[in-house]
Amino acid sequence: MNFINELDFARQLDQKDPLRSFRDRFYIPQRNGQPLRYFCGNSLGLQPKAVRAALDHELSVWQNLAVEGWFDEDEVVRNKPWLTIHERSKPALAHIVGALETEVCAMNNLTVNMHLLLTSFYRPVGKRTRILTIGGDFPSDMYAFETHIRARSLNPDDVLIEVYPRPGHETWQMADLLRSIAQHADSLALVLFSGVHYYTGQVFDMAAVAQAAHDAGALVGFDLAHGVGNVVLQLHHWQVDFAYWCSYKYLNAGPGGVSGIFVHERHHASAAMLPRLAGWWGYDQSQRFAMTKGFVPMPGADGWQVSTPTVLAMAVHDTAVQITAEAGMPALRQKSELLTGYLYFLLGDIIRIITPEDPNLRGCQLSLLIPEQGKTIFDQLTQAGIIGDWREPDCVRLAPAPLYTSFEDVWEVGNTLRRLLARS
């Protein structure tokens, strides 16, 4: 598309946008009666209007049925009882990550799930003990690796291989990653990193990584905190062994919202034999209340559940992910490429953008490097009603989320930045 830097042009794109009605399904935060321009869905997605009713509904089930809420289908909405609440979001999650319903389950929070899945899928044996990841991934993932490896009585310095971008570069060459995986083929147990990098917004070719990892005799997993609801995923088809994500970024399921996991069908038959940290909520549902010894997992991803689900958070989660599934990932992605493409067009010639320009190598987020006056400019953006996020020492991240960000919002941020930079 030939973009034009004009407000009217942006408004025309909004009028032609087949997903434009989705914006009305979210609360756009306001200041002094004016809607803010929200570019922070990479950190916390906006509140879907429907979640209040969903929460209210579970509160009334609690109020009226109390403990029976676990077992009784409630007669008004015909929702599944809380006992099977994890099933409500399966169709939506399966669509969003490209999986079978048996391969996905909503549970816990992201880092907790990372530990649970590392327990099952990081299996160092003999010389094959190493984990390959990217250098400079999200800190929580780093702490999880470090402590998880120590918990196996191994040394992270020996075991963890961190692949960094080439000197002078912010983003990775796929060829470097694939070469590293092949080079360590004799010692690799696992390849695991973010499918979409939180800082640069770079999207990795997950299918190629999965293929390379398997060729090297290793298992492969992805952290999809920044991938889920952002880019089209085909986890089943790509033969990814496992994955996990959070729901409070692009899935809009609220601060600290429920995480989700993916475990490829190929591991389901042998699931009972896998090492794991189990709890009663992952126990074979039909026998759970027999309360007998000897863990028997539920089939598929559900068997990784540990504790009683947080029903109120699940109600918000299920309502939120439904919206993404309803818009559909292909349509969302189509809009996203245009929306972020427009932002790139507006900023590319005035600011250094470290996110790759090629839409295949990025999601919706652009990471801008503004040396020296970066923090000042960021604060001025905030004062102008534009909400992005700031990463020390010089990075402003802007994420136009296609469910609720408009082309007009994008035009506005482009022109405000232009003005602020010209002044500074």
Binding site for ligand PLP (CB under 6 A): 109-111, 138, 140-141, 194, 198, 223, 225-226, 246
Q: Collapse the DSSP code of 180 into the 3-class scheme (helix H, G, I; strand E, B; otherwise coil) and give the result.
A: helix
324 marked as part of a ligand binding site: no
The minimum distance between CB 30 and ligand PLP, in angstroms, equals 26
The minimum distance between CB 7 and ligand PLP, in angstroms, equals 33
Q: Collapse the DSSP code of 160 into the 3-class scheme (helix H, G, I; strand E, B; otherwise coil) and give the result.
A: strand
241 marked as part of a ligand binding site: no
Q: Which is nearer to ligand PLP, 228 or 298 (CB)?
A: 228
- Helix axes 311-327 and 90-97, enclosed angle (nearest 10): 50
Handedness of CA 131, 135, 141, 147 (dihedral sign): positive
Q: Which is nearer to ligand PLP, 120 or 406 (CB)?
A: 120
Q: Which is nearer to ligand PLP, 199 or 342 (CB)?
A: 199
Pairing of strands 389-391, 395-398: antiparallel
194 marked as part of a ligand binding site: no
Type of residue numbered 14 = D
The minimum distance between CB 246 and ligand PLP, in angstroms, equals 4
Q: Which is nearer to ligand PLP, 209 or 246 (CB)?
A: 246
Q: Which is nearer to ligand PLP, 193 or 407 (CB)?
A: 193
Cα 39 to chain centroid distance, Å, stands at: 16
198 marked as part of a ligand binding site: no
- The radius of gyration computed from the CA coordinates of the chain, to the nearest angstrom, equals 22
The minimum distance between CB 372 and ligand PLP, in angstroms, equals 27
> How far apart, in whole angstroms, are the C-alpha atoms of residue 328 and residue 95?
8
Q: Which residue matches tokens 């250094």?
A: 352
Q: Which is nearer to ligand PLP, 246 or 377 (CB)?
A: 246
The minimum distance between CB 121 and ligand PLP, in angstroms, equals 17
111 marked as part of a ligand binding site: yes
57 marked as part of a ligand binding site: no
The minimum distance between CB 141 and ligand PLP, in angstroms, equals 5
Strand partners, 397: 367, 389
369 marked as part of a ligand binding site: no
Residue ranges of the annotated binding site are 110-111, 138-141, 223, 226, 248, 280, 308
Residue ranges of the annotated binding site for pyridoxal 5'-phosphate are 110-111, 138-141, 223, 226, 248, 280, 308
